[in-house]
């Protein structure tokens, strides 16, 4: 859906961002499993984690810009993720090093800044209506969706 109707260069840019974000996510997830407990790595926990979160924010923003359907919700989610990621970057670069006892800090305010964006995104998504038709949800409950009278087969 995201790549439909894009030029070759835009499609290549979005696809490469998706691949690099997924590869970073897998690398970070694997690194958490292979490390000894309570060991922190500035490269993995700082840079790689922030790059994955930034990639996710960029993908949400790209979805909001490139696809008209549910645009405002995706732009709000992407903006919220960008604010949260900037809080992570501030914490790793400044608070952790120069002011470890600072509470509340600038990074705390940025981390909390994701919530208004998510609230607006939820409201915008709810206003747009359900993304999944109710017929699909009925199949998940173990029952077949009922047909309306005009959709029934003749003779039944």
Give the model's pLDDT for residue 53.
Answer: 94
| Residue 7 phi, psi (nearest 5) | -70, 165
The answer to whether residue 87 is domain-embedded is yes
The answer to whether residue 2 is domain-embedded is no
The answer to whether residue 135 is domain-embedded is yes
Query: With 80 as the cut, is the pLDDT of residue 38 above it?
Result: no
Give the model's pLDDT for residue 110.
Answer: 94
If you average pLDDT over residues 82-111, what whole number do you get? Answer: 88
Give me the domain span that covers residue 50.
8-145
Separation between Cα atoms, residue 83 and residue 78, nearest integer Å: 9
Give the model's pLDDT for residue 154.
Answer: 62
Q: What is the 3-state secondary structure (H, E, C) of 41-102?
A: CHHHHHHHHHHHHHHHHHHHHHHHHHCCCCHHHHHHHHHHHHHHHHHHHHHHHHHHHHCCCC
Question: How buried is residue 94: exposed, middle or buried, by Cβ count under 10 Å (0-12/13-18/19+)?
Answer: middle
Residue 13, CA distances (Å) to 18, 22, 72 in order: 9, 14, 22
Element (H, E) at 147: none
Q: Would you call 155 helix, strand, or coil by DSSP?
A: coil
The answer to whether residue 25 is domain-embedded is yes
Q: How many helices (H) and strands (E) does the chain have?
A: 7, 0
Separation between Cα atoms, residue 41 and residue 149, nearest integer Å: 63
Q: How many separate domains does the chain show? A: 1
Give the model's pLDDT for residue 153.
Answer: 61
Query: With 80 as the cut, is the pLDDT of residue 42 above it?
Result: no
If you average pLDDT over residues 40-55, what whole number do you get? Answer: 86
The answer to whether residue 3 is domain-embedded is no
Position 150 confidence tier, pLDDT thresholds 50, 70, 90:
low
- Tell which wins on pLDDT, 142 or 29: 29
Give the model's pLDDT for residue 118.
Answer: 93
Q: Under a CB-based contact definition with an 8 Å cutoff, are residues 28 and 49 in contact?
A: yes
Position 46 confidence tier, pLDDT thresholds 50, 70, 90:
confident
The answer to whether residue 90 is domain-embedded is yes
Q: Would you call 107 helix, strand, or coil by DSSP?
A: helix
If you average pLDDT over residues 26-48, what whole number do you get? Answer: 82
- The pTM score is 0.74
The answer to whether residue 137 is domain-embedded is yes
The answer to whether residue 29 is domain-embedded is yes
């Amino acid at each position: 859906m995201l790549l439909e109707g894009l030029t070759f260069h835009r499609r290549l840019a979005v696809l490469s961002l998706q691949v690099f974000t997924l590869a970073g996510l897998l690398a970070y997830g694997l690194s958490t499993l292979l490390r000894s407990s309570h060991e922190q790595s500035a490269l993995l926990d700082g840079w790689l984690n922030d790059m994955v979160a930034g990639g996710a924010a960029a993908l949400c923003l790209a979805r909001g810009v490139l696809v008209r359907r549910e645009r405002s919700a995706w732009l709000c989610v992407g903006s919220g993720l960008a604010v949260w990621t900037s809080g992570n970057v501030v914490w790793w670069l400044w608070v952790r090093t120069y002011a470890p006892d600072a509470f509340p800090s600038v990074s705390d305010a940025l981390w909390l800044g994701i919530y208004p964006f998510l609230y607006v995104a939820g409201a915008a998504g709810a206003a747009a209506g359900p993304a999944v038709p109710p017929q699909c949800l009925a199949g998940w409950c173990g029952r077949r969706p009922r047909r309306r009278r005009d959709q029934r087969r003749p003779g039944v």
